[in-house]
Amino acid sequence: MESWVRPVVEAIHSSRAQAVIYLAGGASQALGWLLSVPGASGTILEAVVPYSRASMAQLLGKMPLQFTSKQAAEDMALAAYNRGLKLSVPGVQVMGVGFTGSLASSRPKHGEHRFYVSTRTQNCLRTSHVTLSKGLRSREEEDKVSSYFLLQAIADACGVPATIQSGVQDPEIPKESSEQFDEDQELQQVINGQVCMKVYHLCDSLEKNFNRKIILPGSFNPLHDGHLRLLEVASSMCDDGLPCFEISAINADKPPLSIAEIKRRVEQFRKVGKNVIISNQPYFYKKAELFPGSAFVIGADTAARLVNPKYYGGDYNRMLEILLECKNTGTTFLVGGRNIEGVFKKEKLIPVQEWCGI
């Protein structure tokens, strides 16, 4: 790599940002640069090259109308961002990166040589489009130009000052677009299912490095001292986890929460300085997919429902299948009992403790 590339990559690795990268059709050298400099494991959560049509369709959950397009790059960045939210460690900035290109190949192309690179963060979507002059460069040289732009896009999303020497000519000036999202738009994207969660980091515990989350789900309408104390005790039992409350904007039996109502409930956590996550998954087995490796704090009543086949359509085997899926994601459950007339009560969970990690 050129001498000026390494300092940019080092700055990216030092930025406390984590990324999932999806790229197809170019910019392969940028991936090598990012991975060859020490610190990559703290920045790159995952890198996927969905080169075939089937791979791209599976990644996006649909077949793109045009594979090398602004829409395809932005869809890839959004998919990468959602993946990053699930894989990232607590407290870091998450970004999704999408790249799609149509560069010089072994056979002459009738269309333009072009590429699109898009980055998605919590509140911003940025996209660059460059049309290259045909016949001016080899495939390797076009890949290097697209790699420069990918590196620039990642640096910009990380807030790292970088001036990339891209080597483009005057007719190849990139076209840039940017869209900012306010809090209401972010929450609406969660409600609509575009984004899987919005995290409110409202306490100063992020100075410590955490390996997982300790999550207390609920409606919290209102939040009370019992909730705070329950998560506090659970966190003392799992000191490697970041304590978070979680509210699902989507309810299995009721209409979705309104944006105003979500913000009202979040304000309760802001006042006491506690982290809260807004998700769109009302079911625990879906929450386990969303927060792999986390410990969920639940009450005895919820634990009883968790291991009752009635809530799985009366299918005992289906219940065990779902609980095994939870276990396979590294999910565990911490159950809070009840003090009734001076006697500590807990539900009989022994028959399925072994399967669901309670």
| pLDDT tens, residue by residue, 276-308 | 999 999 988 899 999 999 999 998 888 888 888
Band (pLDDT 50/70/90 cuts) for residue 345 is low
Q: Please report the DSSP string for 29-56 in residue order.
A: HHHHHHHHSTTHHHHEEEEE---SHHHH
How high is the pLDDT of residue 114? 97
Give residue 350's pLDDT. Answer: 39
Task: Give residue-wise pLDDT tens across range 136-165.
Answer: 999 999 999 999 999 999 999 999 988 888
Specify the 3-state DSSP secondary structure of 288.
helix
* Residue 109 pLDDT class (50, 70, 90 cuts): confident
pLDDT of residue 308: 87
Tell me which residue has tokens 């996927």: 48
What is the percent of the chain with per-residue pLDDT over 70, rounded to a whole number?
92
CA distances from 334 to 236, 284, 285, 304, 346 (A): 12, 13, 15, 13, 12
Q: What pLDDT score does 349 carry?
A: 42
Cα gap 298→309, rounded to integer Å: 18
So what's the pLDDT on residue 340? 60
- 276-279 and 197-200 strand pairing: antiparallel
- The separation between the first and the last C-alpha atoms of the chain, rounded to the nearest angstrom, is 50
What confidence tens digit (pLDDT) does each residue in 328-339 have?
Answer: 889 999 988 766
pLDDT mean over 10-30: 97
User: Per-domain residue ranges for the chain?
Assistant: 4-180, 184-356
What pLDDT does residue 207 have? 55
The conformational region for residue 218 under phi > 0 = left, psi -120 to 50 = alpha, else beta, is left
Mean pLDDT of the residues in the chain: 91
The pLDDT assigned to 167 comes to 82
Half-sphere exposure of 2 (CA within 13 A, CB side): 14
| Core vs surface per residue 273-310: b (16+ CB within 10 A) or e | ebbbbbbbbeebbbbbbbbeebbbbbbeebbbebbeee
* pLDDT tens column, 223-263: 999 999 999 999 998 878 899 999 999 998 899 999 999 99
Residue 189 or residue 237, greater confidence: 189
Q: Which fold would CATH assign to domain 4-180?
A: Maf protein (3.90.950)
Q: Is 54 exposed, middle or buried (0-12, 13-18, 19+ CB in 10 A)?
A: exposed
Say which CATH class 184-356 falls into: alpha beta
Highest mean pLDDT among 63-77, 205-219, 232-246, 327-341: 63-77
Give residue 116's pLDDT: 98
Q: Are 212 and 242 in contact (CB under 8 A)?
A: yes
Q: Does residue 352 have a pLDDT over 50?
A: no
Confidence at residue 348, expressed as pLDDT on a 0 to 100 scale: 47
DSSP assignment, residue 319? H
Q: Choose between 216 and 299: higher pLDDT.
A: 216
8 Å CB contact between 121 and 20: no
